Amino acid sequence: MNAIDTGARQPPAPTRPRWGRLALQLAIGWLLILLLGWLAHNASRNMAARGIAGGFGFLEQTAGFSISEGLLPYEPGDSYLRAVAAGVANTVRAAVPALALATVLGLLLGVAAVARHPLLRGAVRLYVDVARNIPLLVQVLLWYFALTSLLPDVDHPLAIGPLGFLSKAGLALPGPVYDSAAGWHWSSPQPGMFGIDGGLALTPEFLALVGALGLYAAAYCAEIVRAGLQAVPRGQWNAASALGMRRGQQLRLVVLPQALRVIIPPYTNLALSTIKNSSLAVAIGYPDVVMVANTAMSQTGQAIECVTIIAVVYLAINLLTSLALNAFNQRSAFITR
């Protein structure tokens, strides 16, 4: 007892004064600024020695290369800035449907992972283990080779009802398309002499990237949802059952709203990782911002500027995504006394 009392009366360890912590932070900040300045000076000197002009003025020059697909209208005679904007739009164009696929499929798999049927739980476990343990780049390549090898030729496309046509050239859907003469207009795909005419064309590169990203992230999302559902006390299920609710009503009205506060934080990290993983599009030739920046880098020699553009683009997209999901997380949090 005396030993315990003596230990309990020991004074707390001395802490660094507040001004000391502030001085340490300022010193580290100045060291980082000096390091960045030194790196920038050396880079500028090396570029000048090789006859390469630094800065982002090259963005106003004519790009001179084509982009195979995209949301934004783009021509080879446009500037590098326009090409980068088209690449950013293509990155968002692939990341958004991939996240949507991962969220919906992951939610369904996560609910199935806590189902009462052992066969259903085992099937979900098998899918999660397989998808998580195959590298994402390998999955992207597998999807791309499957779409370009197993699907029918363009001359004999596979009709999928009102959705359009599927072939080695991709998926042709009814949708809005842009034409330099007619502008934006609605177009429906029709079989032609040399393939599919009209419609909204989704290339094999786009389909492979979205499919691989979505299915890969869905495996992680399923585990996040499963953990969130299991974090809710079992008494909540029992209380909902005592009120006469069915299993689906228990999940939708009682359990899932409480599980959101556990699900959203790791889901935010998953969303950010999925957006960054979209940079693997360059491996299959999808013209995202990384591919556009690499092309601009090879033509202009502005390596530092192009890499900086890539970093800033992904940083901006991820910060906006993080802010949106954090705001949703705060709205879904319980208000307690």
CB neighbours (10 Å) of residue 269? Answer: 13
Sign of the C-alpha dihedral computed for residues 243, 329, 133 and 294 taken in this order? positive
What domains sit in the chain, N to C, each tagged with a CATH number? 80-133+213-332 (1.10.3720.10)
Report pLDDT digits (tens) over 201-255. 889 999 999 999 999 999 999 999 999 999 888 888 778 888 888 877 888 888 8
**What burial class does residue 130 get, using C-beta atoms within 10 Å of its C-beta: 0-12 exposed, 13-18 middle, 19+ buried?**
exposed
Residue bearing the bigger pLDDT, 275 or 7: 275
Report pLDDT digits (tens) over 65-97. 999 888 888 899 999 999 999 999 999 999 999
Report pLDDT digits (tens) over 245-255. 887 788 888 88
The 3-state DSSP class for residue 15 equals coil
Quick one: which H or E segment has residue 317? Answer: helix 303-332
Long-range pairs for 251-257: beta carbons < 8 A, 24 or more residues apart: 251/111, 255/229, 256/229, 257/332
- What does the pLDDT read at residue 1? 46
